[in-house]
Structure 1
Amino acid sequence: MRPLPARDLLEAAAVCRNSPGPARGVYLAALALADHSFTDCATLPLGTRDAAIVGLRRAMFGDRLELSARCPRCDAPLDVAMEAAALLALSPAAATLPDVEIAGTRFAVRPADSADLAAIADIPSVEQAREDLALRCLIPRDGADVPASLAPGEIDAVGAAMAEIDPAG
């Protein structure tokens, strides 16, 4: 992967500063994957998208990542240092989609993408956002309809399948 010219890096910083999280991810992935359109990047599995972003960051600034965050509940700081290679070593998205059974009907589960994150970004309830994400990632088998809602155990089953097919997502 090639580093960005300084002009492109400054433009990326300006664009990302004023964009919601999912849009930032798509923009940065499109910079990293020059042969992909923004639309293509919006539909990449999150692990694939994020690997491209980490690869770009690695090409620009080296392998060492120094990360800082604050706990949203208590505001305690968290500082972590790691190598980008550790993130890139996570398994890529699986080629085959796993099935889950919901109310006696089988569904394939696809990995989440940036469009899914954008769709749930403004949902205030974590539980509702998890359910909506799970519903978005169900692919009906044999002409079945996606259910209107999921029970907590069904949401967990879809989440486990999503983690199986895109461990880095």
Structure 2
Amino acid sequence: MPGAVDVLATWEAGTTAGAAERTLLLHALARPRAGVADLKATAVGQRDAELFALRGALFGDRMEVVVGCPDCGEKLEFELGVRALLGDRAHQIPDGPGSSERDGSSELDGSSDPHAPQVLHVDEGSWSVDFHSPTAADLEAVSGIGDADAARKALLARIVIRAERSGRKIDASRIPAPVQQAIASAAAVADPAADVRLAMQCPECSQKISAELDISEYLWRELDVWARAILSDIHLLASCYGWSEDQILALSPQRRRYYVERCVDG
């Protein structure tokens, strides 16, 4: 589990960063021995599973989620358990941040790298396509493309390894919509943590709601609240006792809270 110093350093670096860079910073906190290239080459679902593990190590398994109904505006508040949410994928989550090696091999041509994207295959009509699960680098490369159709085609160009129609090789840009949908469905089944969606019904208007749970955004909001609170504690304790930031962060949360309460109560 990362220490408070490392977590604060990640928060500080992320305060001026964009969403993609924040996600990379959080992933580096979850897998500190990995280089940037390795993190970006990780399958998106594997990355998000590791971010869920980081969240569990820092703040516990239970997640409080608030979803607004798009029709009536009613706020739906409920709790989720990380491992229950991921279901069968939960056994693939590391025991905690920093776990970068595991036993077993991946499904990528027998590779021993558990973080590598899977090579997948779909047959749809006369089409036969081999492709790999999208990686963090793939999503980052297309994130700046404003047009959804253009972004989808750019992503296809990155992940398709081979596309054939009736035995003839075809460029990925010519893959039709039904085959694109088959590719997306196969990727979702193979890498379910890459797109965690919550299905619910509004108790007020009965509207069915499907909401994406973006673990990177969720974790960053929690980390921001935690960092600002602990910096306030540091300011208070430094003012009362003259301790340095390092000395204060070296205290256990329980002892730090005790001293804060003494300062507040006088």
TM score, norm. by length of structure 1:
0.79
- CA shift digits 1:71-92 (9 cap, x unpaired): 7x77945544211122443435
CA change 1:127–1:32 in 2 (3 A) is: same
How much does 1:120 deviate? 1.6
CA shift at 1:40, angstroms?
0.7
Question: Cα 1:39–1:115, aligned 2, differ >3 Å: closer, same or farther?
Answer: same
Cα pair 2:44 2:135 within 8 Å, conserved: yes
**Cα pair distance change 1:122/1:141, threshold 3 Å:** closer
2:15 to 8, 14, 17: 17
The answer to whether the aligner puts 1:158 opposite 2:183 as a matched pair is yes
- TM-score, normalised by the number of residues in structure 2: 0.53
- Residue 95 of structure 1 aligns with an amino acid whose one-letter code is E
Structure 1: gaps of 5 or more residues: none
Other-structure match for 1:137: 159
Structural RMSD (CA)? 3.0
Q: Could you say which residue in structure 2 is the equivalent of 1:37?
A: 35
Q: What is residue 112 of structure 1 aligned with on the other side?
A: 134
AA at the equivalent of 2:53: G
Q: Is the 8 A contact 2:41 2:137 kept in 1?
A: yes
Per the alignment, in what secondary structure is the counterpart of residue 28 of structure 2?
helix
SS at match of 1:89: helix
**Structure number with bigger Rg:** 2
SS at match of 1:19: coil
- Are the counterparts in 2 of residues 44 and 113 from structure 1 also a CA contact under 8 Å? yes
Amino acid of the residue matched to residue 107 of structure 2?
Answer: A
Match of 1:7 among 1, 5, 8: 5
Does the residue aligned with 1:99 lie in a helix, a strand or coil?
strand
> Aligned equivalents of 1:106 and 1:41: distance in 2?
30
Work out whether residues 162 and 169 of structure 2, in 8 Å CA contact, stay in contact via their aligned partners in 1: yes
Q: 2:145 aligns with which of 123, 144, 149?
A: 123
Q: How many residue pairs were aligned?
A: 165
Residue 86 of structure 1, aligned match among 84, 87, 109: 84
For the pair 1:53 / 2:75, whether they are aligned, the reply is: no
> Helix, strand or coil: the match of 1:112?
coil
Q: 1:101 to 1:23 in 2, by over 3 A?
A: farther
Distance 2:19 2:79 in 1: 22
